[in-house]
Structure 1
Amino acid sequence: MDNDRFDEVLRGHLNSGGSTPIDPDAPLKDLGLTSMEAVELLFDLEDEFGVELPDEAMTDETFSTRRSLFSKLEQVHATKSAQS
């Protein structure tokens, strides 16, 4: 998984924007991620990385921080790669 690509997609859905590093443990809600933006972010990440997050991953915990979201996406990506 590419951290830079992930951050580029994520930044497009946050108020911070720009190239400022995203604190991996900062609450995404505090950075401007609304529930509607989270849905759009999900679609963009799935398209960018060619994966589909399972329904059980659609939790507040998954979308709480950059670290938690990246970790879940990484797990799904690894599972998909192992199945290929």
Structure 2
Amino acid sequence: MDQAFIDTLRPHLRYLAADQELRPEDRLRDLGLNSMQAIDLVFDLEDNVGVLLPDDQLTDANFETAGTLWQAVESARSGDLATR
């Protein structure tokens, strides 16, 4: 996970302490991300990370953990969404 991704994700995670490291296995719902915030997060990722997540990638599975969301972002960057 790169710093731009983490910096974009962090404000959406109200239960992640300021001094707490975000790990790939951290469950986003447990850290405070709900479905409404996930929509805002998608827009922030588009603006700050420069990636467009297609509608078919906006799944519960992709928003399960920081790592699964990072994988979706990386797949979108590489144009590899058709193989997911």
| TM exceeding 0.5 | yes
1:5 equivalent in structure 2: 4
Q: TM-score, normalised by structure 1?
A: 0.85
Stretches (4+) displaced over 6 A: none
Task: Give the total of aligned pairs.
Answer: 79
1:29-48 correspondence to structure 2 within 5 Å: 29-48=29-48
The DSSP-based 3-state class of the residue aligned with 1:9 is helix
Distance 1:47 1:17, change over 3 A: farther
Aligned to 2:65: 65
- Tell me what 1:51 maps to: 51
Structure 1: runs of 5+ lacking an equivalent: none
Shift of 1:17: 4.6
8 Å contact 1:9–1:44 — kept in the other structure?
A: yes
Q: Report the Cα distance in structure 2 between the residues aligned to 1:17 and 1:34, rounded to whole angstroms.
A: 17
Instruction: Please report the TM-score for the alignment, with normalisation by the length of structure 2.
Output: 0.85
Q: What residue ranges of structure 2 are gaps of 5+ in the alignment?
A: none
Between the two proteins, what is the percent identity of the paired residues?
39
